[in-house]
Structure 1
């Protein structure tokens, strides 16, 4: 298992290195990119780019500083919180859907899931905003500097302010509605995948034998059914990280929350191709990191899972 995790981490680092090379080429060879690398030769610009990348910030010709890690952290936190809520909601409903024999209730859950999943995230956010507060207008301020970043939860926890718990509560209060809206589609996908895997696993012969030997349905569920169905679902959920990241960026734009979404929108409005090229690296990093965490989580839950990749 350790060797498998090590290979996945090496693959993740290789993907990040390739994305960094592509991002540097876009920065260096694109005209009017507002970067300060055009005054240097290729070797010096290459060294300066990766030095600033490791420091987590880039300097523009205008003197502004683009905080790469802080912007990336704000979007990544929103994705992780949405995935946590999706698992919290989708796991019990998916197990219930896979084990339940109530046809009308199962059909109602599937119908509601299909209706919500087919609804565009932009229309859903606007409808929810309109219903909750008719006076709440969507503000999209394009005059914000690209260096502005959102306040992440880790930054608040790491601060030494006396009022950090109050700020943390206020940040959570602000993020409740974006997280709920962002978690709708991952929750529906979790319900469908877990329900299908639980239903297929429950029909296996070893589950039927466990039902004969075990008296407690809870032990059958905990010892046999869930360990053989849940790990197969986690890698399938990570395949949709691209959709999750796109939805996160849309949520950030609509709720006027600084992050990758606002970053790309402001850069596109000002034709700042340097920011767009760095955003490509940031998006690839988020997608690769979420996929890596999903694979490691599946192996941690069920270590024998990694043998399936070598069959």
Structure 2
């Protein structure tokens, strides 16, 4: 297992190194207008990254690293909330689709996943803003928090910062932050929810064909007991690597969601930087999003291997 972890870390380091080569290559002509080779320039570029120097924003005159620390927590809050919602909705719905495979419930859920996957995020976002915010007036239109509340920036995650403040309106500010978070979370969760439903359904259908499932049913255990005790317990670890990849999808989809809801996150900042041709900010934002996606996928895949017995046995067999 230690050898496997070392290989995973080596692969992760090589992938991140390749990412820096690609990012540097995109701006090579800009960086070498005064002469110089590719690799000598790349080595200087890599040294800057290792020192935490992502450059200076041409739009604000401030370090890009500080902007990443300011905007990334808001994006992380939105993405984690959307991913959690997708699991809460997707796992039970996928389980129901597997149990009712071929019936109207399965057909209805699969049709819903196809529609949900096909609907553009920005179009759906505009619809929910017009209906729930402008027409009904139930939820805020944009932002993380109302201007009525002044909450110090501690973590950048507003739902946490409102709880950390000692202000007398702490509870009201926390509820207001949740209200601001609700609509963008639901919109952003649509696509990963469809994928969770599909993956859980397909994986559970394969697990339910196994002999140990049939043996449990012949022993008189109820269907719900077999599904929860044996079905999902074995299906979920298999689906984890694929589900982990959805976090990258959520992170990229958050860019359009942040624009629609004026969410002060990394995606909106990156789009603004592109419009202003702020190359240092574009480079830093691209590296941050890609690095987080790669690391998150690697961590999820490693965890699934550690908790899934069959994968561990396969690793031991290869090492032996």
- 1:29-48 equivalences under 5 Å are 30=30, 47-48=47-48
Question: Given that residues 162 and 173 in structure 2 are in contact (C-alpha distance below 8 angstroms), is that contact kept between their aligned partners in structure 1?
Answer: no
Question: Given that residues 156 and 167 in structure 1 are in contact (C-alpha distance below 8 angstroms), is that contact kept between their aligned partners in structure 2?
Answer: no
- Structure 1, 222-231 or 100-109: larger mean CA deviation: 100-109
Unaligned 5+ runs, structure 2: 34-40, 144-154
How many residue pairs were aligned?
Answer: 293
Partner residue, 1:73: 73
- Structure 1, 122-131 or 9-18: larger mean CA deviation: 9-18
Partner residue, 2:263: 257
Partner residue, 2:181: 175
Query: Post-superposition shift, 1:216?
Result: 3.8
Question: Given that residues 58 and 68 in structure 1 are in contact (C-alpha distance below 8 angstroms), is that contact kept between their aligned partners in structure 2?
Answer: no
Partner residue, 2:36: none
Query: Post-superposition shift, 1:190?
Result: 0.8
Partner residue, 1:156: 161
Partner residue, 2:278: 272
Partner residue, 1:83: 83
Query: Post-superposition shift, 1:195?
Result: 1.0
User: 3-state DSSP class of the match of 2:51?
Assistant: helix
Q: Distance in 2 between matches of 1:45 and 1:29?
A: 13
TM-score (norm 1): 0.78
User: 3-state DSSP class of the match of 2:52?
Assistant: helix
Query: Post-superposition shift, 1:182?
Result: 0.7
Q: Of residues 304, 307, 311 in structure 1, which corresponds to 2:310?
A: 304
Query: Post-superposition shift, 1:248?
Result: 0.8
Unaligned 5+ runs, structure 1: 34-40, 141-149
Indicate yes or no: 2:81 matched with 1:59: no
- Structure 1, 265-274 or 237-246: larger mean CA deviation: 237-246
Q: Distance in 1 between matches of 2:292 and 2:230?
A: 34
Query: Post-superposition shift, 1:202?
Result: 1.1
Q: Distance in 2 between matches of 1:301 and 1:100?
A: 28
Closer, same or farther: CA 260–4 of 1 in aligned 2, 3 Å: same
Q: Distance in 1 between matches of 2:52 and 2:231?
A: 49
Partner residue, 2:242: 236
Question: Given that residues 73 and 156 in structure 2 are in contact (C-alpha distance below 8 angstroms), is that contact kept between their aligned partners in structure 1?
Answer: no
Closer, same or farther: CA 19–69 of 1 in aligned 2, 3 Å: farther
Q: Distance in 1 between matches of 2:175 and 2:79?
A: 19
Query: Post-superposition shift, 1:45?
Result: 6.4
User: 3-state DSSP class of the match of 1:134?
Assistant: helix
Write out per-residue CA displacement over residues 169-199 of structure 1, whole angstroms, 9 at most, x where no aligned residue. 3322211111111111111111111112112
Query: Post-superposition shift, 1:97?
Result: 0.9
Partner residue, 1:109: 109
